[in-house]
Amino acid sequence: MTTNLRALLGPLRVLDVVHRFGGVSLAAEHLHLTVGAVSQQLKQLETLLGIEISRKDGRQVRLTEVGQILAQRAGNSFDGIEQAVQDAIARGKGTQKLRLTVMPTFAIRWLIPRLAGLYAISPSLDIEITTGASAHFDTELGNMDFVLRHGKGTWDGVVSHFIFEDAYIPVCAPRVAETLRQPEDLLQVQLLHSMMIPSAWEAWFESAGISGAPAHPGLTLANAALCYQAAIDGLGAAIAQLAYVQDDLSLGRLVCPFEHVAHTGLAYYLVCDEREIDRVPISLFRQWLETQS
């Protein structure tokens, strides 16, 4: 590391914080410095680089376009250093941290039932799973190693691992199925709706060529996993992602009363940053994913 680069590190870190917090005052509060000290660091950086990275706009100090670009790239570098330190600590302790964000039903119905197999081959993984509530779940990676995305798998900057395609079927308890003779009869039973995908029933009926209004108000629940449980308990019929209910169908807890499957042409993918694929926990998880799809 050159002397000049050593001199840059402190001011670059201040620039990163100013950019992240959107201003000098909040950055100063975060860094436990005075506003004057933060401004002085920005001026020092301008002197070292010979470029303008900030300017006054009334009583506020704003980053120039060049300053914003530099701040973003410096921030990415600091994030990489922080991640490298965390990885080193984890390796020293014999663990590998892996963070994922997925939908609740995906965690309950797909991921968690498979984790025993992952731990069997990678016992050093320290896994952290968080869930989010979004119908399309196109969340950014942020500080996550993997996130679940819904689409065609063509996102920039990430490596996409296909999990399963959208394939929706109606399901209900066997005793409810006994009352159904034709697909239109589903309009006569209570329909179970997921807040995550509120239009699923409408899409299935349209795909099946069925029109008409349901005879009952329906029951709306927070996610599909709750709908499946309500269907098992005989509260009505749910629209199910085929990949989530295969065990219930095999064991007879649920039945699919009609064979029509609605396809959207989209699928679910677990994605990771293409720059991080060689990190040990990500590499281990990717290898395991290849055996699950």
pLDDT at site 136: 46
Q: Give yes or no for residue 94 having a pLDDT over 70.
A: no
Residue 263 is assigned to a structural domain of this protein: no
End-to-end C-alpha distance for the chain, whole angstroms: 45
Q: Give yes or no for residue 263 having a pLDDT over 90.
A: yes
pLDDT at site 5: 76
Give the burial class of 120: count Cβ atoms within 10 A of its Cβ; 0-12 exposed, 13-18 middle, 19 or more buried.
exposed
Q: Using an 8 Å Cβ cutoff, are 261 and 242 in contact?
A: yes
The rounded mean pLDDT for the chain is 89
CATH code for position 47: 1.10.10.10
Residue 260 is assigned to a structural domain of this protein: no
Highest mean pLDDT among 19-23, 196-200, 235-239: 235-239
Same domain, 142 and 284: yes
User: Above pLDDT 90, what percent of the chain?
Assistant: 66
Cα Rg, the chain, nearest whole Å:
26
Residue 142 is assigned to a structural domain of this protein: yes
Q: Using an 8 Å Cβ cutoff, are 90 and 126 in contact?
A: yes
pLDDT at site 142: 78
Best CA proximity match to 147, nearest among 87, 110, 103, 86? 103
- Between CA 78 and CA 13 the distance in angstroms is 8
Residue 116 is assigned to a structural domain of this protein: yes
Same domain, 136 and 275: yes
Report the amino acid identity of residue 58. Answer: G
The tokens for 260 are: 């029509």
- Between CA 155 and CA 111 the distance in angstroms is 22
Residue 259 is assigned to a structural domain of this protein: no
How many domains are contained in the chain? 3
**3-class DSSP state for residue 9?**
helix
Query: How confident is the model over 233-257, as a mean pLDDT?
Result: 96
The band of 90, judged by pLDDT with boundaries at 50, 70 and 90, is low
Q: Give yes or no for residue 24 having a pLDDT over 50.
A: yes
- Between CA 244 and CA 192 the distance in angstroms is 16
| pTM of the predicted model as reported, rounded to 2 decimal places | 0.67
The band of 179, judged by pLDDT with boundaries at 50, 70 and 90, is very high
- Between CA 106 and CA 67 the distance in angstroms is 41
The band of 135, judged by pLDDT with boundaries at 50, 70 and 90, is very low
The tokens for 90 are: 């984890």
Distances (CA, A) of 166 to 200, 261, 266: 11, 10, 6
The band of 6, judged by pLDDT with boundaries at 50, 70 and 90, is confident
Q: Give yes or no for residue 205 having a pLDDT over 90.
A: yes
Same domain, 99 and 147: yes
Q: Which domain holds residue 151?
A: 95-158+268-290
- Between CA 24 and CA 12 the distance in angstroms is 14
User: Above pLDDT 70, what percent of the chain?
Assistant: 93
Same domain, 105 and 231: no
Same domain, 46 and 67: yes
Residue 261 is assigned to a structural domain of this protein: no
Of 89, 109, 135, the last residue of a domain is 89
Q: Using an 8 Å Cβ cutoff, are 101 and 148 in contact?
A: yes
Same domain, 188 and 243: yes
Same domain, 101 and 234: no
Of 89, 118, 147, the last residue of a domain is 89
